[in-house]
Amino acid sequence: MSPLLRVFCWGLLISFLGTLPMGTLNVTAMQIGIQESIKNALLFALGSLTVEMIYVRISLVGINWVRKQERLMRWMQWITLLIIVVMASGSIIAALHPDEDAKNVVLQNNIHRTLLGMGMCAINPVQIPFWFGWSTVLFTKKILQPVNSQYNIYIVGIGVGTLMGNSLFIFGGRWVTDRISNSGTYLNWIIGGIFTVTAIIQLYKILNHKGAVDKIHDIKDEEVLEMKE
């Protein structure tokens, strides 16, 4: 296997598996696919993965700059938490008062779904330490080399993997709701529960200094130097 193909496959695999646990972005994509259209959900997914790819590039070449933006990223964590709480509340309210035309409050807008995906992904800094960690592993194993051609194909693989993972939620959620009567109410309860648990975990991490910002802050200088070599 050529080095570029191997790097592409690793980026795709890590991204695909990392997208599978339920989170804010993939669940939102699923909700858009169910309440609006598959097209809008895919546009949302494309927007979020575009920002994710940018974050990966930053994590590869600009981690020192990222570490200096601690105050900004702490605000981003709180904003993300607020959005999760709003989405949890909106889904639970929708479950308590069923209405086929009702949408989560975050989706009750005319913002292009690509821009919405980009915005929601941009304020969620958790991807930076995730990808910095995995990239460090690949550097250590000599799978990823510090050259632009490998960086570019690695990022493309990540984008494809993220799209594949989100597609499972989008098409899977639509398939399930099309086959279950009164599925909207059940879905809102499930999504509300997921967002509630996510919000609690996020708050716990922020208050106990275990969030994404703290992971970035605690990155060892030796790892940064190793990535530059």
Distance CA 3, CA 193 (A): 43
pLDDT of residue 98: 64
Contacts of 155 (CB under 8 A, 6+ apart): 11, 53, 56, 57
Angle (CA) 83 27 159, round 5°: 100
Highest mean pLDDT among 116-120, 124-128, 175-179, 217-221: 116-120
pLDDT of residue 115: 93
Return the percentage of the chain with pLDDT > 70, whole number: 79
Give one word for 98, left, alpha or beta, with left for phi > 0 and alpha for psi -120 to 50.
beta
Q: Place 228 in a pLDDT band, splitting at 50, 70 and 90.
A: very low
Q: Are 58 and 128 in contact (CB under 8 A)?
A: yes
What is the residue-averaged pLDDT of the chain? 79
Dump pLDDT digits (tens) for 149-190. Answer: 999 999 999 999 999 999 999 998 888 877 776 566 677 777
Q: Place 20 in a pLDDT band, splitting at 50, 70 and 90.
A: confident
* DSSP result, 27-43: HHHHHHHHHT-HHHHHH
Closest CA to 7 of 152, 164, 136, 132: 152
Q: Span 134-148, mean pLDDT?
A: 84
Q: Residue 221: is its pLDDT beyond 60?
A: no
Q: Could you tell me the residue ranges of all domains in the chain?
A: 3-228
Angle (CA) 142 146 152, round 5°: 110
| Residue reference for tokens 């993997």 | 161
Q: Residue 26: is its pLDDT beyond 70?
A: yes
Neighbours of 11 (CB within 10 A): 28
Task: Give the pTM.
Answer: 0.74
Closest CA to 7 of 142, 163, 140, 165: 142
pLDDT of residue 62: 62
How far is C-alpha 116 from the geometric centre of its chain's CA atoms? 13
Q: Residue 143: is its pLDDT beyond 70?
A: yes
Q: Span 128-155, mean pLDDT?
A: 84
Distance CA 223, CA 191 (A): 38
